[in-house]
Chain A
Amino acid sequence: MGSFDLYLMGWQLIDPQVFLMIFLGTLLGIIVGALPGLTATMAVSIIVPLTYKMSPVVSILMLLGVYCGGNYGGSISACLINIPGTPSAIMTGLDGHPLARRGKAGLAIGMATLASVIGGLFSVFILSVFSPIIANIALKFKSLEIFGVALFGLSVIAYVSPGSTLKGIMAGFFGLLVATIGFDPTIGVSRFGFGSTNLLGGIDFVSAMIGLFGMSEMLANIEKTKKERDFGFLQEKVTKTWGALKYIRKLKAVLLRSSIVGVIIGAIPGAGGTIAAITAYGLQKKVSKYSHLMGQGTLEGIAAPEAANNACTGGAMTPLLSLGIPGDAVTAVLIGAFIIHGIVPGPMMYTTNPDMVSAIFIGMLLANIIILFIGMPGAKYISKLLKIPSQILNALIIALCIIGTFAIKNSLFDTCVMLTFGGIGYLLSKAKVPKAPIVLALILGPMMEENLRRWAALAEGKYWTEFVNAVLTNPVTLSMALATLAVLLAPIIMKKKHFSEDDIQFTSTASDIDPNDIIFAEKK
């Protein structure tokens, strides 16, 4: 295979229909992302069953469009109504909203769009360069190494998920427990089957996810009072979005730095766009000359988190494609989509489906370009959608959740699984237990178990000698063991967590600032 084949062979899969589906996916993602209460994770999980009848390429690329679009879309509502449309836009409103209030809504959204596109494109570049290299190394991984990587992933998730570490670990263990339902991976003993044929194959992962992210969020939305739903909509015309273009050169350092932060954080299992945005914003605040003005409507305060949260997409796809480990909750959902289509994501994809991998690179590239051309001229129309009554939306999405889970396997049982997990997810959000560790544990749990038991079978009873041997001779095993230990001990050593949503306060009462002192930090 020629060295550039991997980047070119996917083009033959991109026909007008595929392109149209990427476009639709991206548009849908932006809309869902823009609507408060509907997250990108939810969008992808409820759309997975709808893509079931499509060909694998169309389906995966459309979902990637939703993923990229959803991550961006949140910034529109963040700027206009100061409510992040999707959690990863949590930091965008800090500066985007004050700027919009000063009559510069177009500039704020334009900046967010450009930053998103640049972050996204950067991450696709990194993904396409590094994932084949990592995959090539990963092809040499044996059971113990895969177990090590999965264990590390799971321990990181617990640590980085927003809220308390303890709750993150609890959620992770709950996911692991659920993952043990059904046949065991090596000898086919039924576990927690309770005599039900439906439980033999385990809990359907996509259904559980639709419940956790779709249904439960709908339940939480319904609960909101009318007052909470009627956010003060800013009667601001979104014009002159392209005006942001001229600040790009001045902000290039910000964009590059935040994109790198986004890619790295995206690649860490469990840490998604939200944490990337928080980190990039925090970093920007540390290094910026105008840090005292951030939070009052600076452009760099918009560019940093938006570049980071969209750079997350390529970052999160890197471990998915090269190791088969999801980088965040959305890529965990994508694994479900791959599996529905009979593709096992991981290093072997470069051998078995290289055209698919190539199409993924190209699809993500196109999705980001589409964001630019939908977001810049279309933001003003999308902002109108924010006025759709949430009752209608909620009902629509609940219907989609039910039909979708039934459609995956034509099984009413799966719909019940979805409803159960919807209830569980709702209770968990009440208890402020993060849900992302559950889904990641659902994927990583079986992976860990299978590989650990396989390694044990290969060791033929000499576990300790084999283990010591592996640790001493294999750098991957050793480094994974040390990294896992470090992550698990970190909360004990460091008193305070880095990533906590509680630290962020929406102090965007910018009205007391002198309007003449228009703060385009980098412009001065």
Chain B
Amino acid sequence: MKRTVSVVLCLVFVCFFAFAGGGKEGSAEGEAQYPKGDISVLIAAAAGGGNDLLVRALLPSLERTLKVSVVPVNQPGGRGAIAFNEVASARPDGQKLYFNSKSALLMKFNGIEEAKMERLVPVAQAAEDVSIFVVRSDSPIKNIKDLINHIKTSKERVKAGNSGMGALWHLSQILFCQTIGSDNILSIAYNGSSPMLTALVSGEVEFVTCGPEAKSFIDAGKVRPLCVVYPGRYPSFPDIPTLKEETGLDYDYPVWRGFFTTAGTDPKILKILSDALKIAVESEEFKKFTAVGMIASFKDSKAFAEIVDKEQKSLEILMPGVMAQIKSAESSGGKK
């Protein structure tokens, strides 16, 4: 009996301590000055990934400008939805920021209904990256024209890899197909870029669409990049031609990474944050940050909001069809 009691007591204590952590924060004060204290940046990704490294590279400069601590909080849970929710439902005082890539816009279409962009307001864009088309290094496909020809003439659907259905690079692939006017591909989902590139190397798929994370595979000589989709040569990969150079075809697919905060935040606060971020992005220490192949590219809250808004609108038209297609392909067992 004594044992049972002690076990139960212990459990009670454990639960008590576990739940005691979620205390309330200090009460509201006047909106006199900003920032009112430490700012937290919720990163919708695990520590050590591209998004995380990028935010951490910006922090020292931000802290110098804003004169408060800026605390990075990694919150990869629920595929970024938990961080999104937390910022979206915070008080609109600019003390909580949300950092994500264009994926933030796609969440809504990928089954996370509450991730509506209207609940956040763009603060500033910090970086940009690019879609790359890649084949195995011993593939007969030597350039992007070969690939387009192959897709158009192949009797069987050309097997392509994406790093997640309806995700960033899959969407780029879909736009690519629309641009070349042929959807004779069978796009297979992988759980992230690394397994996808490995599958490309194993020969399971013929080509993949991915981001700058292909760098290590390209450097190791395992895969061959065909082109990037970017208005000009992409600074991290100056040797890779653009789609437009090679074929004259082009589609607009900028992949931004930027900061958001709770909707309804005072425009003055947005301005302060945006200005501080501008200094951080344009600082020398951030320019050296090329570890993950992204490049620094600043846009202030207004310009960033315009981009987000424009993309949001085009995605509203594009995505429902894409998702319906993905789901019907799955339920029919992949038959065409």
Residues of A that sit less than 8 Å from B by CB: 52-53, 56, 139-143, 183, 185-190, 197-201, 204, 215, 219, 222-223, 225, 339-344, 346-348, 351-353, 398-399, 402, 406, 409-416, 419, 423, 446, 450, 454, 456-461, 463
The 3 A-B pairs at the shortest CB distance, nearest first, are namely: A342-B48, A200-B78, A461-B335
**Bound Cα distance from A200 to B115, whole angstroms:** 13
Is B48 in contact with A416, judged by CB distance below 8 angstroms? no
- CB neighbours (8 Å) of B22 from chain A are 412
- CB neighbours (8 Å) of A412 from chain B are 18-19, 21-22
- CB neighbours (8 Å) of B321 from chain A are none
- CB neighbours (8 Å) of B7 from chain A are 219, 222-223
Is A186 in contact with B78, judged by CB distance below 8 angstroms? no
Q: A211: shortest Cβ distance to chain B, in Å?
A: 11
**Bound Cα distance from A411 to B73, whole angstroms:** 10
Pick from B10, B14, B217: contact of A402, CB under 8 Å: B14
Does B30 sit within 8 A of A, measured CB to CB? no
Pick from B49, B73, B74, B333: contact of A456, CB under 8 Å: B333
- CB neighbours (8 Å) of B203 from chain A are 140, 142
Given A410-B74, A410-B75, A412-B19, are A457 and B46 neighbors across the interface (CB < 8 Å)? no
Does B116 sit within 8 A of A, measured CB to CB? no
A sample of 9 more A-B contacts (CB under 8 A), given A188-B165, A454-B188, is A140-B203, A189-B111, A197-B85, A200-B111, A341-B46, A342-B46, A342-B48, A414-B77, A457-B189
Is A409 in contact with B190, judged by CB distance below 8 angstroms? no
Is A185 in contact with B47, judged by CB distance below 8 angstroms? no
Is A185 in contact with B191, judged by CB distance below 8 angstroms? yes
Q: A228: shortest Cβ distance to chain B, in Å?
A: 11
Is A142 in contact with B204, judged by CB distance below 8 angstroms? yes
Interface pairs (20), CB distance under 8 Å: A142-B204, A187-B165, A187-B330, A188-B164, A188-B165, A188-B166, A197-B78, A223-B3, A340-B47, A342-B47, A342-B49, A351-B220, A398-B10, A398-B14, A402-B14, A415-B18, A456-B333, A457-B334, A460-B333, A461-B334
Which of B61-69, B193-201, B229-237, B311-319 has 4 or more CB atoms under 8 Å from chain A?
Answer: B193-201
Pick from A53, A197, A423: contact of B81, CB under 8 Å: A197
What residue of chain A has the Cβ atom nearest to residue B109's Cβ?
A188
**Bound Cα distance from A143 to B204, whole angstroms:** 8
Residues of B122-144 at the interface with A, using a CB-CB cut-off of 8 Å, are: none
- CB neighbours (8 Å) of B74 from chain A are 409-410
0/1 per residue, B72-115, Cβ < 8 Å to A? 01111111011001000000000000000000000000111010
Residues of B that sit less than 8 Å from A by CB: 3, 6-7, 10-11, 14-15, 17-19, 21-22, 46-49, 52, 73-79, 81-82, 85, 110-112, 114, 157, 159, 164-166, 186, 188-192, 194-195, 197-199, 201-204, 216-217, 220, 222, 326-327, 329-330, 332-336
Pick from A343, A347, A413: contact of B198, CB under 8 Å: A347
Q: A92: shortest Cβ distance to chain B, in Å?
A: 30
- CB neighbours (8 Å) of B81 from chain A are 197, 200-201
**Bound Cα distance from A139 to B223, whole angstroms:** 13
Q: A40: shortest Cβ distance to chain B, in Å?
A: 23
Q: Which of B6, B81, B82, B332 has the most CB of A within 10 A?
A: B82
Is A402 in contact with B85, judged by CB distance below 8 angstroms? no
Is A409 in contact with B76, judged by CB distance below 8 angstroms? yes
**Bound Cα distance from A342 to B43, whole angstroms:** 14
- CB neighbours (8 Å) of A140 from chain B are 202-203
- CB neighbours (8 Å) of B204 from chain A are 142-143, 458
Q: A51: shortest Cβ distance to chain B, in Å?
A: 11
Pick from B14, B47, B82, B201: contact of A198, CB under 8 Å: B82
Is A460 in contact with B334, judged by CB distance below 8 angstroms? yes
- CB neighbours (8 Å) of A219 from chain B are 7, 10-11
**Bound Cα distance from A398 to B9, whole angstroms:** 14
- CB neighbours (8 Å) of B164 from chain A are 188
- CB neighbours (8 Å) of A413 from chain B are 77
**Bound Cα distance from A56 to B191, whole angstroms:** 21
